Amino acid sequence: MIRPIEKPELSECLYVLKMAYEDGAVRFGQTEENCPYRGRTRLPLSVFEKEFLDGFKMYGYLHNDKLVGFLSLSFANDTMRINDIAILPEHQNSGFGSALMQFAKEEAARYRCEKIRLGMIDDNIELKNWYERHGFKTVELIKYETVSYMVGKMEFVL
């Protein structure tokens, strides 16, 4: 079941982000020095609360009444941005991420968006392939001096 997140649940959502993103942070050498908040694995609650208060739409995926997935969306003009889509590692490859992605696409249509954008580690081939299976295409590659990987900006056109 997918439902909106309430402010008291934000710390639980941060736990999902940390656990879901930790493997990538380690694999791609993210540190506090070279990547803000170590790829969101160390995101302070105060920053997360500000995103919530600034109007980011946040949703949780509940399985057996337990939060196992998280989705954060924001909107600008005709574009919806997926800020986070994260599933606890022990629940990955169970279809929960695909359900959140389908929900995001439905939200984009409901808000009359023309496209969905996201950023990700382009060198994470498995994740990039997952986004491509969901219809996303790379529209920009960025190389930051502080990290060894490429950041890919991906887009889905509705």
Mean of the pLDDT values across residues 65-75?
A: 97
**pLDDT confidence bin for 73, thresholds 50/70/90:** very high
Fold classification of 2-113 (topology level): Aminopeptidase (3.40.630)
Q: Pairing relation of β-strands 2-4 and 137-143?
A: unpaired
16 within 8 A of 86, measured Cβ to Cβ: yes
CA 73 to chain CA mean position, Å: 8
- The token duo for 47 is 């920053």
**pLDDT confidence bin for 24, thresholds 50/70/90:** confident
- Is 59 buried (19+), middle (13-18) or exposed (0-12) by CB count in 10 A? buried
| Euclidean distance between CA atoms 92 and 68, whole angstroms | 9
Listed range (42-46, 71-75, 108-112, 145-149) with the worst mean pLDDT: 145-149
Q: For residues 37 and 53, which has the higher predicted lDDT (pLDDT)?
A: 53
| Euclidean distance between CA atoms 33 and 39, whole angstroms | 11
Side-chain half-sphere of 58: how many Cα atoms within 13 Å?
A: 25
pLDDT digits (tens, 9 = 90+) for 105-153: 999 999 999 999 999 999 999 999 999 999 999 999 999 888 888 889 9
- pLDDT of 14 > 90? The answer is yes
In sequence order, which residues have a C-beta less than 8 Å from that of residue 141 and are 6 or more positions away? 122, 150, 151, 152, 153
Residue 116: strand pairing partners: 80, 156
Q: What is the residue extent of each domain of the chain?
A: 2-113
